[in-house]
Amino acid sequence: MGNIRIGKSEVSRELLIFLIISVLLAVVSAVESTSLANRLYEDLDFTVMERSMLETPRELPGLLSVVIIGMLNSLGDIRIAAVANIIGGVGLIFFGLVPNEFSLVLIFLLVYSTGQHIYLPLSSTIAMTFAKGENFGKRLGQIQGLGSFAIIVSSAILYLLYRFIEISYQTVFAFAGGAMILAGVLFFMLGHGQTKVVGEKRFVFRKEYKMYYILAIINGARKQITITFVPWLLIDVYQQPVTTITALFFVVCVINIFFKPWFGGLIDRFGESRALKLEAIVMSAACLGFAFALKLFDFRTALILACICYVMDKLMESASMARATYVRKHSKEASDVARTLTMGQSMDHVVSMLIPLAAGYMWYAGGADGYMYVFLGALVISALNYFVAGKL
């Protein structure tokens, strides 16, 4: 479809459109990461058990994503991505508008989650089609690095809006939903070149991917604890406002501009095993900090340590690239990649649907120290992740 000159460089039209999409979805990521938990806690008065009960059905689309994508297979990855983001954007807009009614919050978070989980395994697959040679990690790192830059701008703007204008959560989520819908519309402009992938099979489940499936299940257990309960720890135990979460997320994104490309290069140079072992080590250290900071230090020092652990936790989301490149390098056909990643996502959600309820009950039943047991559980999972990564 031709190249477009940007300064001294040229990029293909389709890559440019995909980069714009990545920027739009970075805005969505910034809003969700900084504001979702705070809206539930401040606007809707959710308790830790209500937050946990909300997470299990919210993760249901992840479990069913292999079925949903299989049903939509004839559309191809690009059009599936378009539909997914439009659905998710509608759900996000209405999540921002609903009153304090558990059923309504659940319904629209479920709509958003459906779009989000359908797109997740496709995002890496589509990004890797733009790679040159076998440098899949490098290309993923570059695209995600751009996304991190976009999130920096978004989170900085959010911080200023929350701090000085006191913008409503309704407005913020409406804007993010609009960005997600626009991303979906732009996907319809792709698919005329190399990025159009239609799998011959609706579902892919093969024994050569067994290590990926195991890693996906372990990751599902660990990530659900950190995604759900790390923000809740800062909000509930440390009593931090939305501006603190937004500022921390800003810091993460600044580091990620350099960290994601570096981590992608690390994968290409040393392989997925070392990258995933590094993830396990860093996550173990973060879980220890979350669990024991308040027991070992005064409140101010413990808060600083917890914030550092939050940054470490978020940086290690880059390890998802290693799982994606592992599948890509072992796949016989390019069309297998999205279907395999989708199968792994569905398998990890078998675990991640149950973890929030169990962890939420541990937190609730443990009283003031209940959060410690949650993060000690995550520590055990990180150790298991290290062991399995060593088997790759």
The pLDDT of residue 225: 79
- Cα–Cα separations (whole angstroms), residue 285 to 225, 262, 325: 15, 21, 25
Tokens 């675990």 sit on residue: 351
pLDDT at site 37: 81
d(CA 314, CA 306): 12
Question: Considering just the CA atoms, what is the radius of gyration of the chain in Å?
Answer: 20
Helix (H, G, I), strand (E, B) or coil at 271: coil
- Render 154-206 in DSSP notation, one character per residue: HHHHHHHIIIII---HHHHHHHHHHHHHHHHHHHTT--SSTT----SSS----
Per-residue pLDDT at 357: 77
With vertex at residue 287, the alpha carbon angle to CA 348 and CA 273, rounded to the nearest 5 degrees, is: 55
- pLDDT for 60 equals 77
- The reported pLDDT for the residue numbered 307 is 94
Question: Would you state the pLDDT for residue 184?
Answer: 92
pLDDT at 152: 82
- At 6 the three-state DSSP class reads strand
Give the pLDDT score at 197: 46
Cα–Cα distance, 289 to 138 (Å, whole number): 31
In order along the chain (392 residues), what is the average pLDDT of each group of 10 residues? Answer: 57 78 88 83 77 76 72 79 93 88 86 87 73 60 74 84 85 92 90 47 61 79 79 88 84 83 82 86 92 92 94 84 75 64 70 76 82 89 86 74
Q: What is the pLDDT of residue 194?
A: 42
Domain boundaries, the chain: 13-389
Q: For residue 345, what pLDDT is reported?
A: 67
Is the domain spanning 13-389 CATH 1.20.1250.20? The answer is yes
Kindly give the interhelix angle for 242-270 and 299-315, rounded to the nearest 10 degrees: 40
Q: Which pLDDT score, from 0 to 100, does residue 294 have? A: 92
Q: What angle do CA 280, 294, 304 make, to 5 degrees?
A: 70
Output the CA torsion 103→105→107→109 (10° steps).
-150
